[in-house]
Structure 1
């Protein structure tokens, strides 16, 4: 704690570390503890009861947040011919093929947030798999980034589509908006992503699926959300 700044320490005091907050209270606290002089991103971290080492316990996908993420994402599309034109018309920032692969290989160029590719271009994209993979940029059919419908993919990403993927430690990290969004918009974005994560529960998972849920702003402390509230909302509702 001593290494943290004064603002963080002030924010830290507002949070009861022993408590599981309901969603609205947690979002209110995130806003109160966001003391940086910029519009901080609200981050969601979900610890799942899965073992990501097993292929049948992977959790990943993508969802369009109703209110977006508050930041414009730079999209690179690997496509040719009519599909390249379609991507450009949909608002892709960079469109191309081999020449972009060479630029990434030779110049370590990574000025983009999302990569989309048509299936017939995946052989080309595979050449830079070792560069894109570790950075979470490799196109994947499950997240809708390997598709012939590149126009739709680009538009959805620009509208606020986010990818989620469980990491090696069983945690999903995903942004749900900006502090300035206000409680209602952040609640709707939070509910949208949490419903998707709950629906994506692998059949092979045993025991408790939602282990912990934490909300925080970019510079603020973590605030624990009560997982049972989400289970009641999205699981019981479907069983009735």
Structure 2
């Protein structure tokens, strides 16, 4: 553990904590400060001037990153009838109805995302206590409750990410891997940034984006310039 601490300390010296960097500079610096032996994720954290206790200031949705996330996602589809075959044809990792729900109820979680048709949500809702805390409950706002299961699977496999403001006003998102070209990470960041700007609640006064920080899995945080 001491070795990791030493590596982190050396990496942190490369970052001027009193400075805000452009996104291009931040991506370059994040790679230079990276010391892990594996292909780290690149993440961004937004601290927003919102109060999620108010319904009109809750920010939640999903989007497909222009260059994907670099991470494969296992998709579990809960459906019956024609949508079952549609899901299989679209490349879902697991497809089924009540038998899959029973497995989940017994503690099976060998998947990253659940997509469900609306007619299955009554049954799925019974597992809310299990799925809710894990962030796995499908939601129409993120496109995971739909009759068009093929489109949902395609988007997830392409690099769909969900975003949701937490009770402190933060949104944390994955924008790719350290092995990505700088330009692809920058493009993914700008896509997310633009989506969150458009989601600004009308009730917010003054500065909306209070703080934006980029980091790799093990690396130091790098503050990014914002104008809003």
Query: TM (normalized to structure 1)?
Result: 0.92
Tell me the distance in 2 between the aligned counterparts of 1:30 and 1:117. 38
CA contact (8 A) 1:101 1:127 kept: no
Q: What secondary structure sits across from 2:205 in the alignment? A: coil
1:238 alignment counterpart: none
1:13 alignment counterpart: 13
Report 1:118-129 matches (<5 A). Answer: 118-129=117-128
Q: What secondary structure sits across from 2:132 in the alignment? A: helix
Tell me the distance in 2 between the aligned counterparts of 1:13 and 1:72. 33
Tell me the distance in 2 between the aligned counterparts of 1:210 and 1:129. 32
1:237 alignment counterpart: none
Alignment pair present for 1:83 and 2:83? yes
Shift of 1:4: 5.2
Tell me the distance in 2 between the aligned counterparts of 1:54 and 1:61. 17
Cα-to-partner distance string for 1:46-70 (whole Å, 9 max, x where unaligned)? 0111111121111011111111000
Tell me the distance in 1 between the aligned counterparts of 2:140 and 2:43. 25
1:174 alignment counterpart: 173
Tell me the distance in 2 between the aligned counterparts of 1:49 and 1:38. 35
1:130 alignment counterpart: 129
RMSD between aligned alpha carbons?
1.4
Tell me the distance in 2 between the aligned counterparts of 1:201 and 1:28. 28
Shift of 1:203: 2.0
Cα-to-partner distance string for 1:118-174 (whole Å, 9 max, x where unaligned)? 111110110111111111111111111111110000001000011111111111011
Tell me the distance in 2 between the aligned counterparts of 1:109 and 1:54. 35
CA contact (8 A) 1:47 1:170 kept: yes
2:160 alignment counterpart: 161
Report 1:92-131 matches (<5 A). Answer: 92-106=92-106, 108-131=107-130
Q: What secondary structure sits across from 1:62 in the alignment? A: strand
Alignment pair present for 1:150 and 2:172? no
Tell me the distance in 2 between the aligned counterparts of 1:211 and 1:221. 19
Report 1:14-53 matches (<5 A). Answer: 14-53=14-53
CA contact (8 A) 1:97 1:124 kept: no
